[in-house]
């Protein structure tokens, strides 16, 4: 009777627990969605930044023209005159997802516009990502850890920064796909079911469709398989989890046009094939070991080793020769810059110039993952007690993502789920120990008050508390004196908890009979639980602050608070709207590549270069034009059929990310392809300046002239609020360009190329004829300006 | 060296004897695996002779053979009665999973075949 009653109560408790878990997960989803809505509330429902505008334009095209036209789309309104094959160079996952959601909503007669769906895709998928984290951590440790990890991920600032409402970028769905793929892999590993292996391949396919970071998965999983084999954890479930994934995954990856045959030919995937071969060898070895006697097995090993090593050497030699014959050893530039952080700055200045690709600073770790930064080591320790396949995977995932986040600040995003999983495990284990201690002490107190026999305490309490873990308290408390030694004792006793500042004195635990349950003193437990809750509260406060203040700026609309209220700077959209309404449809606009996506999406004009940055020479051409004097720049732009030039200038209002601040990168990139542009020409004594001390080349280049034309008329002195000095050349006229539009705060300035003069009269004609003959004679010199 | 060859012969004999005791159903699966791998090798040899264009057809052909071999090995693992990890798994479920995976694999192959 008693046992069934106990079972009944425990199953009732489980039922309650299940319902409560579902409710909590729903709330977590709501939190994840709502915390990302600050930008919509503070500004408006608008698409942010630069890359999302391209995705938005592609989604518009998809919704208007259908999937076949999208798949075969050749875009001629960008990278003029080269064009871009959108179908083959874009990761279609995000646009297809949003397009499907839009189609679904409209078929149900919910009239959502494409823009609304695009803006809110990221918050919806962050809710899904939180649920996927719950599933993954449940497989690694248990449901309690799962819920904690899901709650932490819903709010972690690093993930919020790339998935606010309006940040319509690949990472919005890719992080969900990443966590879900890992969950299915661990589920397959734990259950050994081929069904989950198929689902795993599908999730991996979705990840390949969504983001270039899929190479992280296809290298992390083989590393984990290798780790399991090396640590002696090979099992048939490992084979079932890995081998079908490689075959199906490679095939599915090759289906995506942007990956294509790279799935079998680039070094990023070779790791998976190598481990595929290794796992087959290991499986064979285990099989033969199973059917042979040990002595014969030893004979077999010696025989196989002698033959095998010879064969292996030959194969490895062939492989090394194949790989070494290509200059980058088969790795793409972006992957190489991850493995060798100095690679990009030496060889690919475009990758080095993006601010997201710089290594992060220490404060950014605390800004982005806050409290998790010191919960993670506790989680790592918790994963080792006990070590299972799944927890070894979690540790490996964390270690690799910490390394990569140290290389590139953008990859803090990949660290976020790993940190959340680890912290969830740590917090859940800590709560488990503390609540167990509290329960133990409270029941002991009640037992004490009921029965007077203290001798019985040993058995009743030892049966009540759970199975003994390694006893951390016995050595500490029974021998050491009762003086509280705060951190040292606390850290050794409570390895699984993070900072402990309580000064609870250490009460020796009452001696037990056979089993010694892992309990802590009651006061320590209560204080610790309270402090953990306070820690959680501080974390939530920080996340909400970060989401509201730091990561919700749409960067296409700027605001500033001054003594007379809120100023809104909507200059970018003003400029694009002017372009859209006052120029011909086929006019070409030249600007620095940052603004390409926005120009094509909002102004609907053809651009020369955009954020895709796939053609370095084309970008260098534009950079050279911006760095050259007016006449040479006009020649370059005229050869590209450009009609309008757009520059961003922040000197009047103090906007620091304008083109003059980016100008040195234009010089470097241009100089990388056209050697007559030398960076030293633009620097005075190694310093970059545009005031009266600037070099002659700097004061005469197109960027300077287009930025500061008529700037002196604003305040009479030409004081640049960003550079904080007066500019060098104040009064000048433009000979080859004419200003057609400057926005309200002078942030965007648009110029038109003046048409060539019909007739050349007098002196200029004679010099032109003379120069033409001399230039034809001296055409064979090297280092000559190719544009003259 | 004589000891070596003796050992090798002894090894092969004992291997053969141990293998002969496996159930017939597993031997059929093993035969299927050998057939799939042989087909893959024939395709690779053909590619070496004729050239690899169109590459996607070659890739889908070889990977379909390798894929069915891998899935058959997974089936064998799950159906083998000596395997203690899978003693709760009914063989019908294992076979159903095998069929499903093969369906998915061949769907992808047909798409990629060009």
List B28's β-bridge partners, or say none.
none
B85 lies within 8 A of chain A by CB = yes
Which residues of chain A are within 8 Å of residue B60 when distances are taken between CB atoms? 251
Residues 24-43 of B with CB under 8 A from A: none
* Secondary structure class of A510 (helix, strand, coil): coil
Q: What pLDDT does A487 receive?
A: 39
Q: What DSSP character marks residue A411?
A: G
Q: Give the integer Cα–Cα distance in Å for A343 and A347.
A: 6
Do residues A181 and A207 lie in contact, with contact meaning Cβ atoms separated by under 8 Å? yes
A113 vs A23: CA distance, rounded Å? 31
Dist CA A69 CA A319 (whole Å): 40
Give tens-digit pLDDT for B20-69: 888 888 889 999 999 999 999 999 999 999 988 888 899 999 999 999 99
Please give the model's pTM, rounded to 2 decimal places.
0.84
**Nearest chain A residue to B89, by CA:** A193
Q: Which residue of A has its CA nearest to B87?
A: A192
* Residue B34 · residue B68 · CB < 8 Å: no
Residues of B in contact with A292 (CB under 8 A): 11, 14-15, 18
Residues from chain B contacting residue A244 (CB–CB below 8 Å): 67, 70-71, 74, 101
**Distance between CA A542 and CA A174 in Å, rounded?**
25
Are A385 and A391 contacting, i.e. CB atoms less than 8 angstroms apart?
Answer: no
d(CA A249, nearest CA chain B) in Å: 10
Quote the CA–CA distance of A417 and A413 in Å, as a whole number.
8
Contact predicate A210/A172, CB 8 Å: no
Write down the pLDDT at residue A517: 66
Question: Which residues, including other chains, have CB under 8 Å from residue A311's CB and lie 6 or more apart?
Answer: none
Burial of A105 (0-12, 13-18, 19+ CB in 10 A): middle
Task: Give the three-class secondary structure for A740.
Answer: strand
Where does residue B92 rank: exposed (0-12), middle (13-18), buried (19+ CB within 10 A)?
Answer: exposed
* Nearest CA-CA distance, residue A61 and chain B, Å: 25
Chain A residues closer than 8 Å to B10 by CB: 296, 299
Which residue in chain B is spatially nearest to A190 when comparing CA positions? B85
Cβ atoms of A351 and A141 within 8 Å: the answer is no
CB < 8 Å to A193, chain B: 97
- Long-range CB contacts for residues A433-437, cutoff 8 Å, separation at least 24: A433/A494, A433/A496, A433/A497, A433/A518, A433/A520, A434/A520, A434/A525, A434/A528, A434/A529, A434/A532, A435/A525, A435/A529, A436/A465, A436/A466, A436/A517, A436/A518, A436/A519, A437/A518, A437/A519, A437/A520, A437/A521, A437/A522, A437/A524, A437/A525
Contact B101 A197 (CB under 8 A): yes
pLDDT digits (tens, 9 = 90+) for A342-358: 666 666 666 666 767 77
> What is the SS3 assignment for A110?
coil
Secondary structure element (H or E) that encloses residue A65, with its range: helix A51-65
Smallest Cα distance from B48 to chain A, Å: 16
B94 near A CB under 8 A: yes
Q: Which ranges of chain A have pLDDT less than 70?
A: 1-7, 323, 325-335, 337-338, 341-353, 355, 450-517, 761-788
pLDDT at A467: 38
Q: Which of A787, A670, A754, A641 is nearest to A81 (CA)?
A: A641
Q: Which pLDDT score, from 0 to 100, does residue A168 have?
A: 92
**Number of residues assigned to chain A:** 788
Give dist(CA B72, CA B30) in Å, integer. 8
The per-residue DSSP string of A587-624 comes to -EEE--GGGHHHIIIII--EES--TT---HHHHHHHHH
**Distance separating alpha carbons of residues A259 and A269, to the nearest angstrom:** 11
Return the number of other C-beta atoms located less than 10 Å from residue B26's C-beta.
16
- Say if residues A241 and A189 touch (Cβ distance below 8 Å): yes
pLDDT of residue A309: 80
**CB proximity A197 to B under 8 Å:** yes
Q: Do A255 and B66 touch (CB under 8 A)?
A: no
CA angle at B75 for the pair B73 and B78, rounded to the nearest 5°: 110
Quote the CA–CA distance of A434 and A442 in Å, as a whole number.
12
CA distance B104 to chain A (A): 8
SS3 letters across A72-91 = CCEECCCCCCCCEEHHHHCC
The end-to-end CA distance of chain A, in Å, is 100
Close Cβ partners of A325 (under 8 Å, ≥ 6 residues apart): none
From the number of C-beta atoms within 10 Å of its C-beta (0-12, 13-18, 19+), residue B24 rates as exposed
pLDDT for A249 equals 93
Pairing assessment for the beta strands A683-684 and A687-688 based on DSSP bridges:
antiparallel
**Interface residue A259 vs chain B (CB under 8 A):** no
Task: Using alpha carbons, select from A154, A172, A164 the residue that is nearest to residue A45.
Answer: A164
Q: Are B94 and A194 in contact (CB under 8 A)?
A: yes
Taking CA atoms, A218 is separated from A155, A182, A253, A332, B73, in Å, by 27, 11, 10, 15, 22
Please tell me the predicted confidence (pLDDT) of residue A489. Answer: 39
Selection from B107, B80, B79, B73 nearest residue B93 by Cα: B79
d(CA A224, CA A242): 10
Q: Which tens digit of pLDDT belongs to each residue from A554-581?
A: 888 888 888 888 888 999 999 999 999 9
* Interface size between A and B, measured as CB pairs under 8 A: 97
Q: Which helix (H) or strand (E) holds A151?
A: helix A143-155
Report the C-alpha gap between A267 and A440 in whole angstroms.
56
């Amino acid at each position: 009777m008693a046992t069934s009653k106990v079972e009944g109560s425990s199953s009732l408790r489980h039922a309650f627990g299940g319902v409560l878990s579902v409710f909590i997960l729903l709330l977590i989803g709501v939190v994840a969605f709502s915390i990302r809505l600050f930008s919509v509330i503070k500004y408006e429902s608008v698409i942010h930044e630069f890359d999302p505008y391209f995705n938005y334009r592609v989604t518009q095209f998809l919704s208007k023209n259908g999937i076949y036209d999208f798949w075969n789309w050749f875009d001629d309104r960008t990278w003029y005159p080269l064009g871009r094959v959108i179908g083959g160079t874009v990761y279609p996952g995000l646009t297809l997802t949003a397009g499907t959601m839009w189609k679904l909503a409209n078929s149900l007669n919910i009239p959502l516009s494409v823009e609304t769906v695009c803006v809110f895709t990221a918050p919806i998928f962050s809710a899904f990502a939180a649920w996927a984290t719950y599933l993954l951590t449940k497989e690694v440790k248990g449901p309690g850890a799962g819920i904690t990890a899901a709650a932490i991920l819903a709010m972690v600032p690093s993930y919020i920064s790339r998935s606010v409402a309006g940040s319509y970028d690949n990472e919005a769905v890719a992080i969900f796909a990443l966590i879900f793929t890992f969950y299915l892999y661990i589920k397959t590993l734990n259950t050994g079911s081929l069904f989950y292996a198929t689902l795993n391949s599908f999730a991996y396919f979705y990840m390949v469709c969504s983001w270039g970071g899929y190479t992280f998965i296809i290298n992390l999983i083989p590393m984990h398989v290798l780790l399991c084999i090396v640590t002696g954890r090979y099992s048939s479930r490992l084979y079932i989890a890995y081998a079908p994934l490689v075959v199906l995954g490679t095939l599915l990856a090759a289906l995506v046009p942007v990956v294509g045959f790279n799935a079998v030919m680039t070094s990023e995937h070779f790791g998976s094939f190598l481990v595929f071969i290794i796992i087959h060898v290991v499986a064979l070895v285990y099989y033969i070991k199973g059917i042979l006697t040990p002595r014969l097995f030893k004979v077999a090993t010696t025989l196989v080793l002698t033959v095998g090593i010879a064969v292996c050497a030959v194969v490895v030699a062939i492989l090394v020769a194949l790989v070494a014959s290509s200059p980058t050893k088969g790795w793409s530039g972006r992957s190489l810059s991850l493995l060798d952080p100095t690679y990009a700055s030496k060889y690919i200045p475009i990758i080095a110039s993006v601010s997201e690709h710089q290594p992060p600073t220490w404060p950014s770790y605390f800004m982005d993952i806050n409290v998790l930064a010191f919960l993670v080591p506790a989680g790592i320790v918790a994963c080792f007690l006990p070590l299972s396949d799944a927890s070894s995977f979690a540790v490996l995932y964390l270690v690799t993502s910490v390394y990569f986040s140290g290389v590139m600040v953008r990859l803090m995003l990949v660290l976020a789920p790993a940190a959340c999983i680890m912290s969830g495990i740590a917090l859940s284990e800590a709560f488990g120990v503390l609540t167990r201690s509290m329960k133990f002490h409270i029941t002991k107190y009640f037992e004490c008050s009921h029965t007077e026999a203290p001798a019985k305490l040993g058995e009743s309490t030892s049966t009540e508390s759970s199975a003994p873990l390694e006893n951390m308290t016995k050595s500490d408390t029974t021998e050491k004196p009762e003086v509280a030694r705060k951190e040292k004792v606390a850290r050794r006793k409570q390895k699984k908890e993070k900072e402990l500042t309580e000064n609870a004195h250490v009460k020796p635990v009452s001696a037990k009979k056979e089993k010694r349950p892992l309990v802590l003193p009651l006061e320590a437990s209560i204080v610790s639980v309270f402090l953990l809750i306070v820690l959680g509260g501080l974390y939530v406060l920080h996340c909400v602050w970060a989401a509201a203040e730091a990561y919700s700026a749409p960067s296409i609309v700027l605001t500033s608070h001054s003594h007379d209220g809120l100023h809104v700077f909507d200059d970018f959209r003003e400029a694009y709207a002017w372009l859209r309404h006052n120029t011909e449809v086929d006019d070409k606009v030249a600007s620095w590549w940052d603004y390409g996506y926005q120009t094509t999406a909002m102004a609907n004009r053809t651009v020369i270069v955009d954020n895709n940055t796939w053609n370095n020479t084309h970008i260098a051409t534009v950079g050279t034009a911006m760095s050259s004097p007016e006449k040479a720049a006009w020649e370059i732009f005229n050869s590209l059929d450009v009609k309008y030039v757009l520059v961003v200038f922040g000197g009047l209002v103090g906007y620091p990310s304008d083109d003059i601040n980016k100008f040195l990168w234009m010089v470097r990139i241009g100089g990388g392809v056209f050697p007559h542009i030398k960076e030293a020409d633009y620097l005075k004594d190694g310093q970059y300046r545009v005031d009266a001390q600037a070099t002659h080349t700097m004061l005469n280049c197109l960027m300077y002239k287009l930025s500061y034309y008529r700037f002196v008329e604003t305040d009479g002195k030409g004081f640049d609020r960003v550079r904080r000095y007066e500019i060098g050349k104040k009064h000048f006229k433009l000979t080859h360009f004419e200003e057609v539009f400057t926005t309200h705060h002078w942030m965007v300035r648009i110029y038109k190329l003046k048409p060539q003069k019909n007739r050349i009269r007098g002196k200029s004609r004679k010099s032109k004829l003379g120069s033409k003959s001399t230039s034809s004679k001296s055409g064979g010199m090297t280092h000559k300006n190719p544009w003259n | 060296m004589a000891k070596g060859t003796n050992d090798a012969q002894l090894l092969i004999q004992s291997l053969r004897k141990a293998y002969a005791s496996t159930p017939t159903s597993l031997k059929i699966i093993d035969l299927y695996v050998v057939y799939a791998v042989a087909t893959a090798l024939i395709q690779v040899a053909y590619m070496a002779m004729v050239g690899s264009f169109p590459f996607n057809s070659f890739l889908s052909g070889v990977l379909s053979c390798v894929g069915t071999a891998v899935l058959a090995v997974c089936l064998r693992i799950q159906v083998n009665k000596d395997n203690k990890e899978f003693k709760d798994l009914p063989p019908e479920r294992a076979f159903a999973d095998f069929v499903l995976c093969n369906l998915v694999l061949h769907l992808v192959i047909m798409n990629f075949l060009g």
